[in-house]
Structure 1
Amino acid sequence: MIIAERYHDISCGHRVVGHEGKCRFLHGHNYRIHFSLAADALDEIGRVVDFSVIKSRLCMWLEDNFDHKFLIWEQDEMLNQLQAITAESLVVVPFNPTAENIARYLVEVIAPKQLEDLQVKLIACKVEETAKCSASYTL
């Protein structure tokens, strides 16, 4: 299998509901999101997909929707209070915003919509919270 990969950097805040340590507090990361795409066959030029397509479809989705925003779980008890203070900076998500859940969401929910007219599929996503800590989701 041949895989095309590209990463994108964003800055984003979150908190992990139920976390036993520091991550239960409001904080943020300079995330690096790695996208791995595959296709049943290479195109006529010999590519899985042009890297600019990954940028325009997936990296720019991150820029438009997550960059410089605060991810908050729809079940977070702090949601109403934060909406009262800064609703425009919040992204309400249907999951506790761990790196693992972000990676799965990008693969299962976002990428199929962003790539629906192409003959390519996001097969894996790696979310780095720091240079030392990351989580990956693979189909």
Structure 2
Amino acid sequence: MITCKKSYRDIPFAHRQHLHDGHCAFIHGHNWTITLTFACEALDTNGFVVDFGKLGYIKKWIAKHLDHACLFNENDPEREKLLKNYGNLFQAYVLPNCSCEGIAQHLYEVFNPMVQEATNGRAWITSVEVEEDSKNSAKYSAGE
């Protein structure tokens, strides 16, 4: 198996950890970095695991769903009220867990099928690392 990595940096979005007993319970934002590790057994005809220049579909997905968005846990009791009363002020993205760890796992579940489809199953994602303001990070690895 051979791997390569691609990072998407300085993606501004906010989140809220509604169960946290401190300041993370408030909506707050970070600049995020998402690093994807790709793998394959056989390189393509160019000698690539993936062609970095042809990953525009991932960049577009990030721009559409995360850039300047506010992420909410699907079980956040304030989410519906916020969206009903203020939903025109921000773009919301709802996922099971919007912690750094939850975002990493969710992005793996979103991006891995996209990569497999784009490469006809030749390449896949082995891990997704999410960095919060380059100070904190979490990594989700498939099968570990």
Alpha carbons 1:99, 1:128 under 8 Å: kept:
yes
SS in 2 for 1:41: coil
Write the deviation string for residues 72-125 of structure 1: whole angstroms up to 9, x where unpaired: 1121011122112125611122x12001111111112x1133222412101111
Query: What TM-score, normalized to structure 1?
Result: 0.90
Partner of 1:90: 92
Q: Percent identity?
A: 33
Opposite residue 124 of structure 2, the aligned amino acid is K
> Which stretches of structure 1, 4 residues or more, deviate above 2 A after TM superposition?
none
Q: Distance in 2 between matches of 1:117 and 1:6?
A: 16
Equivalenced residues, count? 136
Deviation at 1:66, TM superposition (A): 0.9
Query: How far did 1:45 drift?
Result: 1.7
When the two structures are superposed, what TM-score results if normalisation uses the length of structure 2? 0.87
Letter in structure 1 aligned against 2:138: A
| 2:17 aligned partner | 16
Q: 5+ unaligned residues in a row in structure 2: which ranges?
A: none
More strand by share: 2
Alignment RMSD (CA, Å): 1.5
**Contact 2:16 2:26 survives alignment (8 Å):** yes
Partner of 1:7: 7
Find the aligned partners of 1:111 and 1:80 in 2 and give their Cα distance: 27
Q: Does 1:39 align with 2:40?
A: yes
What SS does structure 2 have at the residue aligned with 1:91? strand
| Map of 1:134 onto structure 2 | 137
Query: What one-letter code is carried by the residue in structure 2 that aligns with 1:90?
Result: A
| 1:68 counterpart residue number | 68
